[in-house]
Copies of this chain bind each other. A is one copy, B any other.
Amino acid sequence: MFKVAMIGAGSVVFVKKLLTDILGLPDLHDVTISLHDINAERLETAGMMARWTAEQFGANARVEEHLDRRAALADADFVINMVQIGMHEATLLDFEIPRKYGLKQTIADTLGIGGIFRGLRTIPFMVDMVGDMRELCPDALLLNYTNPMSILTQAVYEAFPEQKVVGLCHNVQNTAADLAEYLNVPVERLSYDCAGINHQTWFLKLRIDGEDAYPRLWQAMEDPQIFAKDKVRFELMRSFGWFVSESSEHNAEYTPYFLKRDDLIAEYDVPVDEYIRRSERNLGRYQDTRKQLLAGESFPLERSVEYGSQIIHAMVTGEPEVIYGNVKNTKLIENLPEDCCVEVPIIVDRNGLRPCHVGKLPPELAGYCAPHTFVQDLTVKAALQGSRDRVHRAVLLDRHAASVLSIKEIRAMVEELIEAHGDAMPEGIRNSLRASEKAKRYA
């Protein structure tokens, strides 16, 4: 018997996806699923979904709902974090205020101005929750699915060096599926070797049945129909030499190349404000799911590509698995900064997670990823140290913001965002003056 706590279980669709994976494995049937959300209705819905799923697989899972997070965490073996702090309203601010200054975004949840502010308002929650974990389930592994992935994972290991934590995403798996489509082969025939930072993990090697598939991919790119499916990422491959994880819409906002001018937005089909639309759709999707549950309808039960269930299986049974996860850079990628958060292959078994040594990335890829690691580091330090200055410096070093705005525009935009998010900002940031303001006082 082991216990999985799901924090932010109101994300019912995602809960169902993970439970389908977990309960679909007979070795994991003897489990306590402990759900937590602050929204009672959503929590109830998640509980219904969990019970329905367990029933389908004939699993003797014990499902608990807790409005009290501490009760959910107590004695957990695995804690899966999937909260969204601030919800749709905060997301709107992250889009609208920058847009007013001329800074457009597509997803805004990872890097850039949106990622930074999502990080700032989520880190206090992470510190609080992991503080509880240290007390209530100190040996549990934290599987973090909440974005911004790298920022939150790094915040955890900086604030709690003893905490076992891994940041999880599906960007590698989904990109593999994309590549299989462009190469017109079943994804099972692909093998690959990836490394980088989350959403900028590079397919360093790509093979079909063991043979290098890159020449074929370069050819595929020349087909305008294929190119059109992934314009930003193919242009990046043409420029930097390797294919990058995640998607064109995400990658468009991580660099200064695609979003700074209207002609480029048009040329590369960049879907500005895309995440606002997705966020609205997610609201609808939740409502539909609840209705279907109440009506006793069925849901499909297919395994997903998420690593969560594989990690739990490997740690519970001892059968090793290899996954991609986000962890502290203990010299794993030698030419990215030490202690930044990197995405690398990891062995999982009963001993927990053992990340692999990657060595050096090609210098163009390290140079592409490195600036983001400093933005992430400054965001984490801004939140943990309560430094308003470091929020500004994080944004000043963001490649996209710096390509569109002046220093003074960035300064005004950041101040307006801090003001607009109000109590959601870490207390130290709200209450601190910038160095230049302090300096004026001396004068």
B257 in contact with A210 (CB, 8 Å): no
- Please tell me if A182 contacts chain B, counting CB pairs below 8 Å: no
| A30 CA / B430 CA spacing, docked (Å) | 47
Give chain B residues whose Cβ lies under 8 Å from the Cβ of A357: 330-332, 354-357
Q: Is A443 an interface residue (CB 8 A)?
A: yes
Binds B, one of A86-94, A117-125, A126-134, A373-381: A373-381
Say yes or no: A374 contacts B367, CB within 8 Å. Answer: yes
16 additional contacts, CB 8 Å, given A210-B350, A347-B347? A192-B351, A193-B351, A215-B442, A218-B438, A218-B439, A256-B402, A257-B406, A320-B320, A322-B322, A330-B357, A331-B334, A345-B347, A367-B374, A367-B375, A399-B399, A399-B402
- Asked if B335 and A335 sit within 8 Å, CB to CB, the answer is no
| Stretch binding the partner chain, chosen from A6-14, A238-246, A284-292, A298-306 | A238-246
Central interface residue in A241, A351, A357, by most chain B CB within 10 Å: A357
Q: Does A197 contact B (CB under 8 A)?
A: no
Of the candidate stretches A49-57, A166-174, A273-281, A386-394, the one touching chain B is A386-394
Quick one: CB contact mask for A405-443 with B, threshold 8 Å, 1 for yes? 011000100000000000000000000000110111011
Using A347-B347, A402-B403 as known contacts, say yes or no to A240 and B439 having CB atoms under 8 A apart.
no
Contacts A218-B436, A239-B393: A370 and B364 contacting too (C-beta < 8 A)? no
Establish whether residues A354 and B350, one from each chain, have CB atoms under 8 Å apart when the complex forms. no
Q: Which residues of B contact A367 (CB under 8 A)?
A: 371, 374-375, 377-378, 393, 397
Would you call A99 an interface residue if the criterion is a C-beta within 8 Å of the partner chain's C-beta atoms? no
Top 8 nearest A-B pairs (CB, nearest first) are A367-B374, A218-B439, A403-B403, A331-B331, A191-B350, A193-B351, A354-B356, A364-B393
A403 cross-chain contacts in B, Cβ below 8 A: 256, 260, 402-404
Chain B: minimal CB distance from A116 (Å): 13
The CA-CA distance from A218 to B389 in the complex, in Å, is 15
Q: Does A111 belong to the interface (CB within 8 Å)? A: no
Residue A205 is within 8 A (CB to CB) of chain B in the complex: yes
Beta-carbon contact of A241 and B435 below 8 Å: yes
Chain B CB within 8 A of A229 CB: no
Chain A window 205-231, contacts with chain B (Cβ cutoff 8 Å), 1 for yes, 0 for no:
101001000010011011000000000
Instruction: Answer whether residue A157 sits at the interface, using C-beta atoms and an 8 A cutoff.
Output: no
Q: Which of B257, B368, B381 contacts A407 (CB 8 A)?
A: B257
Interface size on A, residues (CB 8 A): 77
> What per-residue 1/0 map shows which CB atoms of A142-182 lie under 8 Å from chain B?
00000000000000000000000000000000000000000
Cβ 8 A contact of A257, one of B207, B257, B356, B402: B402
A32 close to B (CB within 8 Å): no
A357 and B261 CA atoms in complex are apart in Å by 43
A207 to B192, CA, bound (A): 33
A255 within 8 A of B: yes
- In Å, the complex CA distance between A179 and B372 comes to 32
A363 within 8 A of B: yes
Determine if A58 is an interface residue (Cβ-Cβ < 8 Å).
Answer: no
* A256–B401 alpha-carbon span in the complex (Å): 10
Complex: chain B residue closest to A434, CB-CB: B238
Residue among A375, A377, A402, A411 with the highest chain B CB neighbour number at 10 A: A402
Chain A to chain B contacts (Cβ below 8 Å), 19 pairs: A191-B349, A191-B351, A218-B435, A219-B439, A222-B440, A257-B402, A320-B321, A322-B322, A322-B349, A330-B331, A337-B366, A337-B370, A363-B381, A363-B390, A367-B374, A367-B378, A367-B397, A368-B397, A370-B370
Contact of A239 among B193, B334, B392, B399 (CB under 8 A): B392
Q: Does any Cβ of B come within 8 Å of A359's Cβ? A: yes
Q: Roughly how many angstroms separate A374 CA and B360 CA in the complex, as a whole number? A: 13
Binary per-residue interface labels of chain A (96-126) against chain B in the complex, 1 for a CB within 8 Å, 0 otherwise: 0000000000000000000000000000000
C-alpha spacing A316/B239, complex, angstroms: 32
Collect the chain B residues with CB atoms within 8 Å of residue A406's CB.
257, 261, 264
Give Cα A359–Cα B351 distance, bound, in whole angstroms.
Answer: 14
Q: How far is the CA of A221 from the CA of B436 in the complex (A)?
A: 10
When distances are taken between beta carbons in the complex, the residues of chain B under 8 Å from A389 are 241
Select which of B256, B368, B393, B443 is within 8 A of A240 by beta carbon. B393
